[in-house]
Amino acid sequence: MASTTVDKDASGSSGSITRKYHFSPQLANLRITYWRSTLAVDLERHSPAPTLKHEPDADPSFPFDTTDIITAGITEEYHLATRAGLAPFDEVPAHPVDKQPPKPVDVEKAQTLKDVELVTWLENDPENPRTWSRLYRWYLTGVAATAVVAAAFASAIITGDFKDIEREFHVGAEVVTLSVSLMVVGFGLGPLVISPMSELYGRRPMWIIPMVLYVIFNIPCALAPNIQTLLICRFLCGLFASAPLTLAGGTISDIWDNKDRGLAIAYFAAAPYGGPVLGPIVGGFVGESLGWRWIIWVNMIFAGVVCLFCCTIPETFAPVLLRKRAARMRAETGLTNIKTEQELFAAPLSEIIFNTLVRPFEMLMTEPILLLMSLYIALIYGLLYAFFFSFPVVFGEDYSFSDGIVGVTFCSVLIGLAIALLVMPILQKRYMRVVERKGGKADPEDRLLGMMIGAPWVPISLFIFGWTAPPTVMPGGGNWVGPCISGIPFGFGMVTIYFSANAYLIDAFPSYVASALAAKTVVRSGMGAAMPLFIVQMFHGLGNGWAASLLAFVSIAMIPIPFLFYRFGSIIRARSKRAA
């Protein structure tokens, strides 16, 4: 339990909240009993305080961007279950933000907080997303992952018929390539707005509204009378399609506790990379038989179906659910002291803007862990999009494959991805054993094993691709197998690297997760957008072997990153202002 004391400054006009974790005698003679059936509140004096019960292995679903966590700390309100459904503010466990001194709190507000009752979940609360049936939660996980696949799929499907777009609009390949790059730029910018909006208004409206707009903006893409319309609308499609990329991970965290979340996240990790691989496979056949406009129509149909499923996703964000419950209880009981932490310590607009638009880039400049991990993830993401443009050079130009068959060669990447999905549960089980061995909390560096396993496979795949392709190995017979199978080690390395790096960033910056992931997303999308703009020219200018080798050498330079952080990560984090 905790009690609240007020530390006044020299003038006696302000202070800070100090939470002490012991039994609070002042609040022992007040109990608020919350009856679920009527939402009634009965105040009884001379009764013990409510008993708090923690959900096992549950991480908080916390609104980092829209809460003043420096003042309030990070409470466990959002994953706490009590018999009464309410708990005194100073009895709810809270953790200070790592390495940040708390802001002073006005004395009057600190005194008011003593009377505040925070809304919590009830024991076995049917409104708590983590108590929903396992089958239903897997359904929601599947919908979220499929939505991510659909968004990523759209970015690459248009590569199935670039030649017809060039001919119809009388533009060069570089201009048409922008139809991919601008959509990926939208993927990077959209989360900067959607993420804080989801904290304020909930995940459900952010699942539905942007997805509907994304479906709608496919129409002007398909009917575009000129290249300008196509490019602008593709950018807007990327902006709105970024909603699943932003929300899916959070939604999965909302409905699964730590014990089960690892497996769900492991399977979800493949979605952002599996989607783009499927795009050229479908786009190639549709483009060569029906034309490029039907590529967009097919994408819109897929997006529309996924959008309908997204409409079935209920609100899962605990802060929003409890905030609505608090408002309902205040209206029915007339008590104004029933609150949530997000209401008590709402971040001002200026702070929300700083948290979403400034702090991610500030952290990139000051946090070497975040910078190097973001660059590594960006390289892998960029290489994936590089494959979408180098495969047509090798298989389309050198082997004279049709657009449809060129798309089929990407199946090798899917095979590697599938192998990675088989390995992910093994890595997760190993991590859980490390957690048990270390007394319930592992170090962030224990997440890096997947990166260390996957890192060498990326340059290996690039060397295979470059030096088994023409002119080193001339077309004929089954010689196409060499460059084709290069996708297998790449797909494996890509997913294992991304899963481990993402988990490491989350564990390394627990108080700044939203900013760290936003920074990673912007850097990743920037690389994904830039890579297609020069890959074809690079392969034409250097030749297949040396162009692929140049990318491989960059990948080799990145290999030491997870090994160095595994050895020195704890030292770097100790010197950081924001890392755990």
List, for residues 169-224, the tens digit of each pLDDT value.
999 999 999 999 999 999 999 999 998 899 889 999 999 999 999 999 999 999 99
Instruction: Give the lowest-confidence range in 104-113, 370-379, 402-411.
Output: 104-113
Average pLDDT over residues 82-89: 85
Pairing of strands 3-8, 14-20: antiparallel
Does 154 have pLDDT greater than 90?
A: yes
Say what the pLDDT of residue 36 is: 34
Does 269 have pLDDT greater than 90?
A: no
Q: What's the burial of 126, exposed, middle or buried (CB within 10 Å: 0-12/13-18/19+)?
A: exposed
Average pLDDT over residues 6-20: 38
Of 141, 541, 81, 96, residue with least CA distance to 322: 81
Residue type, 114: K
Question: What is the sign of the dihedral through the CA atoms of 557, 561, 563 and 564?
Answer: positive
Name the band, by pLDDT with cuts 50, 70 and 90, for residue 263: confident
Could you tell me the fold of the domain covering 359-579? Answer: Growth Hormone; Chain: A; (1.20.1250)
Q: What span, in angstroms and rounded, lies between the C-alpha atoms of 554 and 490? A: 14
Q: What span, in angstroms and rounded, lies between the C-alpha atoms of 372 and 364? A: 9
Same fold, 133-315 and 359-579: yes
Tokens encoding 499 = 């899963």
Name the band, by pLDDT with cuts 50, 70 and 90, for residue 357: confident
| Cβ neighbours around 43 below 10 Å, total | 11
Contact assessment for residue 341 and residue 77, using Cβ atoms and an 8 Å cutoff = yes
Q: What span, in angstroms and rounded, lies between the C-alpha atoms of 59 and 168? A: 53
More confident residue, 374 or 21: 374
Contact assessment for residue 49 and residue 24, using Cβ atoms and an 8 Å cutoff = yes
Residue where the block lists tokens 């190097």: 372
Whole-number average pLDDT of the chain:
84
Q: What span, in angstroms and rounded, lies between the C-alpha atoms of 492 and 494? A: 6
What pTM did the predictor assign? 0.85
Name the band, by pLDDT with cuts 50, 70 and 90, for residue 105: low
Q: What's the burial of 351, exposed, middle or buried (CB within 10 Å: 0-12/13-18/19+)?
A: middle
Tokens encoding 196 = 């804080």
Q: What is the pLDDT of residues 537-550, one digit of tens each?
A: 999 999 999 999 99
Of 416, 436, 172, 471, residue with least CA distance to 274: 416
Residue where the block lists tokens 């030749």: 543
Q: What is the DSSP letter of 486?
A: T
Name the band, by pLDDT with cuts 50, 70 and 90, for residue 85: confident
Does 44 have pLDDT greater than 50?
A: no
Average pLDDT over residues 68-93: 79
For 5, the 3-state DSSP assignment is strand
Could you tell me the fold of the domain covering 133-315? Answer: Growth Hormone; Chain: A; (1.20.1250)
Q: What is the DSSP letter of 346?
A: B
Long-range contacts of 511-514 (CB under 8 A, 24+ apart): 511/64, 511/69, 511/74, 511/97, 511/98, 511/100, 511/578, 511/580, 512/64, 512/359, 512/363, 512/578, 513/64, 514/64, 514/65, 514/195, 514/355, 514/356
Q: What span, in angstroms and rounded, lies between the C-alpha atoms of 232 and 83? A: 54
More confident residue, 105 or 131: 131
More confident residue, 280 or 26: 280
359 φ, ψ to 5°?
A: -60, -40
Q: What percent of the chain has pLDDT over 70?
A: 86
Chain centroid offset of residue 393 CA:
32
Residue type, 360: P
Average pLDDT over residues 565-574: 94
Residue spans of the domains in the chain: they are 133-315, 359-579
Query: 474: which residues sit within 8 A by CB, 6+ positions away?
Result: none
Question: What is the sign of the dihedral through the CA atoms of 455, 459, 460 and 464?
Answer: positive
- Asked whether the bond before 60 is cis by omega within 30 degrees of 0, the reply is no
Q: What span, in angstroms and rounded, lies between the C-alpha atoms of 245 and 195? A: 10
Query: 46: which residues sit within 8 A by CB, 6+ positions away?
Result: 29
Of 124, 149, 145, 360, residue with least CA distance to 251: 145
Tokens encoding 382 = 């960029």
